[in-house]
Amino acid sequence: MYRYLFVRTDLPIHTQLVQACHAGIEAGKHFCRDPDIDSLIVLQVQDEDALLACCQYVADQGIERMLFREPDLGDSATAFCTEPVGGEQRRVFRRFRLWEAEPCLRA
């Protein structure tokens, strides 16, 4: 079983990591009924609008998810994580891009 976590890439990288962790923790508390999780797959979306659209798409596929809103960022939606997903339902996520950190450049 897998959990899929989406995070916005228009946020600073350190904020992306924090928001991804927040969403993962909240989903873990909410979907604690299945401890058999093999992996957490982190996917990226461009901005809040894309995040909300992905969240709705995932819901439309019958997959539960936990959307995290950050109070310190004006209560904006920053990340979401799914319930444990297995089998054919995993195909839903093939259209999305894996999260990729931008290289850190030093002057």
- pLDDT at residue 34, rounded to an integer: 58
In tens, the pLDDT along 17-74 reads 999 998 888 887 877 665 666 788 999 999 999 999 999 999 999 999 999 999 999 9
Q: Domain boundaries in the chain?
A: 2-95
CB under 8 A, 24+ apart: contacts of 52-55 = 52/77, 54/6, 54/80, 54/96, 55/6, 55/80
Q: What is the pTM of this model?
A: 0.83
Q: What ranges in 9-47 are assigned the alpha helix state H?
A: 13-30
Nearest to 37, CA basis, from 87, 90, 85, 88: 85
Question: Which CATH number does the domain 2-95 belong to among 3.40.1490.10, 3.10.20.600, 3.30.450.30, 3.20.10.10?
Answer: 3.40.1490.10
